Amino acid sequence: MNAILSEARSLAAWMSGIRRDIHRHPELGFAEERTASLIERALDEIGVRHERSAGTGVVALMDGEGEGASGCVGLRADMDALPIQDAKDGDLSSQVDGVMHACGHDAHVACLLGAARLISSRRGEFAGSVKLIFQPAEETDTGGALPMILEGALDSPNVDALLGLHVDPGIPAGTISVADGFINAASDMFDVVISGGGGHGAYPHKTSDVLYIACQCVSSLQSIVSRSVSPTEPAVVTVGALRAGSVRNVIPTEASFSGIIRTLDPGVRELVVRRLGDVIRGTCAALGGSVSIAIKPGYPMLRNDDGMAGFVRRTARGVIGEDKVLLGTPGLGVEDFAYFAERRPSCFFNLGVRNEERGIIHPLHSERFDVDESALPVGAALLASAAMRYSGRRAG
């Protein structure tokens, strides 16, 4: 067995304890005070200096003591939970009503702290430095990555490259997947308000039926992807909320709807945003309603650097074996690690956590989401090994 993976597995109980503690006490974005304090205590025990960033974020620095080529690599883990009621039974479920770690950020923190312990015990085996970035608020509209960047998380010392991982319930525990190129979508959020003269439900011809207009808009939006975007280009337009009226026999004066656009190509992103405005304004004009459209850009597309993706694959083959390193595929989910990847060569890879025999099969953001904790040492070993290889001398 690879030496660093063997050492990581000796830390399995410690990492599981951290993950379970965080899982039982989830916190939403920019409110992760307990989680940040737990991270700081763990870093103190390991002997790693650290400081706060962006409120509840934590940045730590570990210097190698070896000789030879040196650089600085960043390792990032997000920390926040989701406003979802945990439906799991037993003492491993969330103890906070309406909040749970349904996206595995508790596991991400445990993996990065495990990597910190592995790196700390091998400082003499690499030159350069490793920066640990524990990031808040990935699940929010604005994200925590950009605030940490603006506060200097990538500076002093300058981070040359970054690595991050995300748990994946679609692939077995013990495996990872690495995708090339654009791997996560850009997000644009839209809010639409349609106004018109309301009235009695028995006399719709005397009104501008804004509810009818809104329904026609929502239906017409589906033509954007099917008729304006090439079938070979991934894109999604989703309306997730529609609001209008409160009484069955009254046509309201206002209707509104909100949704998201997800794209994997900058040109397609521009096209879909433009066509969304055209379709809504044209439909409202044709049917007699006035409209206000607000489009808020969200996270940018996440693109893996080709060199860093290859570097992670080579490292992983040496740690867990070639048959455990899978080819990843792009998805239309969003990830604010993209802000880091815009500024430094980066690789974001998936860590398998699926275990069908134990019923660990539920998707991300599910109220029954869980992880096979045997994956934690794998994640820690890969982060540590890649960081030390990048920073200088190969370890493990």
User: Contact at 8 Å (CB) between 163 and 77?
Assistant: no
pLDDT in tens, the chain (396 residues): 799 999 999 999 999 999 999 999 999 999 999 999 999 999 999 999 999 999 999 999 999 998 877 899 999 999 999 999 999 988 899 999 999 999 999 999 999 999 999 999 999 999 999 999 999 999 999 999 999 999 999 999 999 999 999 999 999 999 999 999 999 999 999 999 999 999 999 999 999 999 999 999 999 999 999 999 999 999 999 999 999 999 999 999 999 999 999 999 999 999 999 999 999 999 999 999 999 999 999 999 999 999 999 999 999 999 999 999 999 999 999 999 999 999 999 999 999 999 999 999 999 999 999 999 999 999 999 999 999 999 874 344
Residue carrying the six token digits 């106004």 = 195
Other Cβ atoms within 10 Å of 348 Cβ, number: 27
Contacts of 289 (CB under 8 A, 6+ apart): 194, 195, 196, 208, 210, 213
Token code pair at residue 288? 């007699």
Nearest of 227, 37, 26 to residue 134 by alpha carbon: 37
CATH architecture of 186-297: 2-Layer Sandwich (3.30)
Inter-CA distances, 320 with 3, 252, 325, Å: 11, 61, 8
Residue 384 burial (10 A CB sphere; 0-12, 13-18, 19+): buried
Q: Alpha-carbon distance 234 to 225, whole Å? A: 9
Nearest of 144, 119, 147 to residue 43 by alpha carbon: 119
Give the strand pairing for 250-251 and 199-200. antiparallel
pLDDT at site 395: 40
Out of 3.90.190.10, 1.20.1260.10, 3.30.70.260, 3.40.630.10, which CATH number does the structure's domain 3-183+301-391 have? Answer: 3.40.630.10
Q: Where are the domains of the chain?
A: 3-183+301-391, 186-297
